[in-house]
Structure 1
Amino acid sequence: MNWQSDSNDIETLFAPVLERWYEHNKRDLPWRHTNDPYRIWLSEIILQQTRVAQGKPYYERFVAAYPTVADMARADERELLRLWQGLGYYSRARNLHQTARYVTDKLAGKFPNTYHDLLKMKGVGTYTAAAIASFAFAERVPVVDGNVYRVLARVFGIEEDITTTTAKKLFAALAMRLIRSADDPAVYNQSIMEFGAIHCTPVAPDCLLCPVQQKCVAYLTGRQHKLPVKAKKAPVRERFFNYFIFQHNGRIALRERTARDIWQNLYDFYLIETDEPKTALRDILLSESVNTILEKGTLLTPPTELVQLLSHQRIRAKFYRIDLPVEVINSLPTGLQWYFPEEINDLPKPVLVTNYLDNQFG
């Protein structure tokens, strides 16, 4: 299907053109072979965190562990967090668990079947609600995510900053007009998302073989790399973690992070956070009780340094591995407990901690 000469046809032909492109170019993904709202919801929550290639194994592991929403509702939260490990934003995993319980206990295991009712569920925003509503229930409601913003901004030459409320309303209205020309709202939504993901990409869009090239404002004006317009990200916050890995007779001391901070409900080591990097152990301000433990212990290796970049934070961690004698193993700081390696494998942990353990004890 080609564009007609009349520029007014662009909105009418946009959906059919993309649907035809999708028919020939779509990737074979497991969540595209179902209209089960549970599995669609699960895939969308996971794909908020990572790209398809990285998200697919997580999806398959979750489906294997929890084939139905009732199975997830009955899950142990610690095990669910362990399966989520590596995706980040662990609050989304906890929302996943709470929503599964809500659907199972309050809705008799049936997901809401409309966009507006889906929005009432914890952790489900406008994009996820639209995806579930269209893919599972064929509701004619458009998805608008980063890929969609990029495609629409380029094709229609929209220069509004996509982070603003005005732009969000503008894109939402355009997306709603476009989906009205679609034969199937589910196929259309998949089409535009897939087109943005693998064809109209952020850095190297395939303009030469683009089915909308003749009407794409960005292509015709040479602005592919200037659209969409997006405000600069907030500066990354630097944080400095000093970890103390206390060990004795094959066991290692870890604690659960309970504060409302990154990695809540995950397990790590005894931690002292400082405002700036400390070059030596003696420069770290410690309590008298911890100093007593350190005086009795033996530093086994030079400190190891690792870095993890989160969305708005950079964690620079230094790890001190210390062997403790028997007389102080019951005097650990509050919250620390002793675990054998096989027990630690079953604990949900930040990627930073997992990487350290793999490097030092793997």
Structure 2
Amino acid sequence: MKKNPDTMFASDQIEKLRSMSEPLLSWYETHARALPWRIDHAPYRVWVSEIMLQQTRVEAVIPYFECFLHALPNLPALARAPEDQLLKLWEGLGYYSRVRNMQKAAQSVVQGGGTELPESYEQLLALPGIGPYTAGAIASIAFGIPVPAVDGNVLRVLARLLACGDDIALPPVKHAFEQADAGLLPQNRPGDYNQAMMELGATVCLPNAAPRCAICPVRVFCAAEKEGSPQMYPYKSPKKPRVIEERTVFVVVAEKKVLLRRRTDKGLLAGMWELPNLSGWLEAGEISAVLAGWGIEDAAPSALDNGKHIFTHIEWRMKGVLALSCACTPVEGSIWANAAEIAERYALPSAFRPYARLLPELLS
């Protein structure tokens, strides 16, 4: 595959694709999945759904979306929400900077005297956490502004339609696709077109060797299908290998409460509550010394199953330790939380799921 960062598409290539919007939109009207954020295209709802859908499957997002909208039904409510509530609503979705940036954006709007997202692509783009794709999605779907919204699904569709093998991981290449897509947008239905392209990529023009070309509504326009090799597109340069980190995770329980501590405000899982953990797989003597340092000297630590969690660039390989104590000894920078508090207030990142799932029984 080519890896040319100066990708540009000839006007005749784009012209050949202009008439595909009619069959694409007709297909979308018939085959679009019934999703809660498509019932009402209010700007706030569109925004919440688009942020949640980043890096997350649609099926997983639906209950989160409904719960989030019930708790924080509008932008001012999001702006004033306590951080613990915000993170609890996001618990399990991961990439917590997304929801923190949402709150920063909401607070920026409210501080400026507004109660709704601005009706301008440029003003949306200026808000924290809103990039070109999200701004394009909100502007086109909620406000009918004819701007493209090119996510990973749309990149894949366009790369196949144009049989373009340039590296979509390169910003100039992605920008070229955004320009191409802007030339295809029907001015009267930009939101429907953008959603139709996303839906096509999510349900028909699938990744790798799985495209369902036989049922594609724009098959006759697809250069890659004519070549007989749609699975070859798009090209994306390989990711760097993940960094492997070994961690020892402590599940310390006393008086039907578990010890939690808050991470620092910078770095991975910044500001999140966690089960205490240390770098490396500690030996028995080191584990006892750590517990003693926390003032917990009556617990006989026992091994829990190993766990694993994959972040974007890091993989944690975890060794679990259970320590049962008689009393909730004060530990600097930490709290003791019962089952109800964990269920309602304290959000634990999904990285700790192998051990958090044990807590209902341990704290009962």
TM-score w.r.t. the length of structure 2 is 0.89
- Aligned pairs for 1:38-49 within 5 A: 38-49=44-55
* C-alpha separation in 1, matches of 2:359 and 2:258: 12
Contact 1:40-1:136 at 8 Å conserved across structures:
yes
C-alpha distance after superposition, 1:7-61 (max 9, x if no partner): 8852221222211111111111121122311111111000113121111111111
Q: Does 1:306 align with 2:312?
A: no
Aligned-partner SS, 1:133: helix
- Between the aligned partners of 1:335 and 1:233, the Cα distance in structure 2 is 36
The CA deviation at 1:325 is: 4.5
When residues 58 and 74 of structure 1 are mapped into structure 2, their CA distance, relative to the original with a 3 A threshold, is same
Deviation of 1:284 after TM superposition, in Å, equals: 6.0
1:238-253 equivalence runs, <5 A: 238-253=244-259
Residues 7 and 76 of structure 1: is their aligned pair in 2 closer, same or farther, counting only changes over 3 Å? closer
Alpha carbons 2:252, 2:325 under 8 Å: kept: yes
Correspondence 1:93-132 to 2 at 5 A: 93-132=99-138
The 3 A distance-change label for structure 1 pair 298 and 284 is closer
1:319 — aligned with what? 320
Among the aligned pairs, what percent are the same residue? 34
Structure 2 gaps, min length 5:
1-11
1:189 to 189, 194, 201: 194
Deviations 1:76-129 (A, max 9, x none): 110110110111111111111222222223242121111111101000000000
Aligned equivalent of 2:342: 344
CA distance in 2, matches of 1:66, 1:73: 9
Distance 1:7 1:170 in 2: 13
- What residue in structure 1 maps to residue 7 of structure 2? none
Aligned-pair CA distance for 1:353: 2.7
**Aligned to 2:321, what secondary structure does the other structure show?**
strand
2:4 maps to which residue? Answer: none
Kindly report the root-mean-square deviation, in angstroms, between the aligned alpha carbons of the 2 structures: 2.2
Q: Secondary structure at the match of 1:239?
A: strand
Name 1:271's counterpart in structure 2.
277
**Contact 1:70-1:109 within 8 A present in 2 as well:** yes
Question: Could you tell me whether the CA contact under 8 Å between 1:15 and 1:182 is conserved in 2?
Answer: no
Q: Would you say how many aligned residue pairs link Structure 1 and Structure 2?
A: 348
Structure 1 residues 336 and 140 mapped into 2: Cα distance closer, same or farther (>3 Å)? Answer: same
User: Do the aligned partners of residues 246 and 22 (structure 1) sit closer, same or farther apart at CA in structure 2, a change above 3 Å counting?
Assistant: same
Please show how residues 199-238 of structure 1 align to structure 2 within 5 Å: 199-203=204-208, 204-238=210-244
Contact 2:17 2:221 in 1 (8 A): no
Q: Deviations over 1:135-178 (max 9, x none)?
A: 11111101111011100110111111001133122212211111
State how far apart, in whole Å, the 2-side matches of 1:118 and 1:322 are: 49
Does the CA-based 8 Å contact 1:240-1:315 persist in structure 2? yes
Alignment equivalent of 2:285, drawn from 279, 282, 298: 282
CA contact (8 A) 1:77 1:97 kept: no
Query: What letter is aligned with 2:323?
Result: I
CA distance in 1, matches of 2:265, 2:44: 30
| Deviation at residue 182 of structure 1 after TM alignment | 5.1
